[in-house]
């Protein structure tokens, strides 16, 4: 079971990656989905032992939120990516977070791929596979190859991609997007949905002084506390609103048994 971490707490990880409150909000929103899903999974089977992070984010962050999840679950972590710069960025971000007292029990194994769609160098099984801001990097022809490898390697998988129906976000972020319909077509019976709809526009930048103030200021702490409640209410909004405003489409795959059908 995951800890109840606030956006203010997760902001430390975002800062370690050189990111800001938008990334901390994203991490919080993803944890809400993963916490419910993993709680149901762990009630049905043994505790996960091994985690694969199949591709690092294209541009924003280094998936330190997934390493935080790994530490809480006490699992071994393998990270695979084809970009040496992304793997080095992860190592630098992890070292920064550890200097702040975070992720001190995590030591991921890094695997360098030749192509994100080709996970064939990995042959050991995993209980859980996670990926964020990676699938959209692949051409449509290569996405099924990536998915087949994930399904081969893991008994459970969760993928998070930029929402292709939110053109404002993809234009500002510079990322390609994948629509919910495309995810459903690609992944079949996976449970899919929308998350990450912060009540502020994307692309906001802050000075180092403002970032430091956000980690210690009372007003900033109260604002982040309010954001946490807002994030919990996202899934009550009409689907049409979330389709156009959410930053992320997610898919949850239970690959070793029939999927449950409850909705988030």
Summary mean pLDDT of the chain: 90
pLDDT at 31: 98
Question: Does position 259 have pLDDT exceeding 50, yes or no?
Answer: no
Question: Does position 213 have pLDDT exceeding 90, yes or no?
Answer: no
Cβ burial of 201 (10 Å; 0-12, 13-18, 19+) is exposed
Which residues, in sequence order, are bridge partners of residue 158?
A: 130, 252
Which domains occur in the chain, in start order? 7-254 (3.40.50.150)
**What's the pLDDT band for 27 if we cut at 50, 70, 90?**
very high
pLDDT at 263: 41
Name which of 151, 83, 149, 142 is nearest 122 in CA terms: 149
pLDDT at 209: 56
- Write out pLDDT tens, residues 46-78: 778 999 999 999 999 999 999 999 999 999 999
pTM: 0.90
The stretch 127-146 carries a mean pLDDT of 97
Name which of 190, 193, 113, 195 is nearest 146 in CA terms: 113
Which of 10-19, 35-44, 122-131, 238-247 is least confident?
35-44
């Amino acid at each position: 079971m995951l800890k109840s971490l606030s956006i203010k707490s997760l902001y430390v990880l975002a800062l370690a990656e050189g990111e800001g409150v938008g990334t901390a909000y994203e991490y919080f929103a993803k944890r809400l989905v993963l916490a419910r899903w993993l709680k149901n999974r762990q009630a049905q089977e043994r505790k996960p032992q091994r985690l694969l992070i199949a591709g690092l984010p294209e541009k924003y962050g280094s998936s330190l939120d997934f390493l935080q999840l790994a530490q809480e679950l006490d699992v071994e972590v393998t990270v695979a990516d084809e970009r040496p710069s992304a793997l080095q960025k992860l190592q630098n971000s992890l070292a920064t977070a550890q200097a702040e007292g975070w992720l001190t029990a995590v030591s991921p194994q890094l695997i360098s791929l030749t192509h994100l769609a080709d996970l064939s160098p990995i042959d050991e099984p995993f209980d859980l596979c996670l990926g964020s801001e990676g699938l959209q990097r692949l051409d449509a022809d290569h996405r099924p190859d990536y998915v087949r490898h994930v399904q081969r390697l893991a008994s459970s998988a969760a993928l998070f991609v930029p929402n292709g129906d939110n053109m404002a976000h993809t234009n500002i972020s510079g990322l390609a997007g994948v629509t919910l319909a495309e995810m459903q077509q690609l992944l079949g019976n996976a449970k899919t949905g929308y998350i990450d709809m912060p009540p502020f526009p994307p692309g906001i930048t802050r000075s180092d002084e403002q970032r430091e103030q956000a980690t210690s200021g009372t007003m900033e702490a109260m604002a982040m506390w309010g954001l946490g409640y807002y994030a919990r209410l996202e899934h009550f909004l009409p689907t049409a609103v979330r389709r156009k405003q959410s930053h992320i489409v997610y898919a949850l795959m239970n690959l070793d048994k029939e999927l449950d059908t409850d909705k988030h």
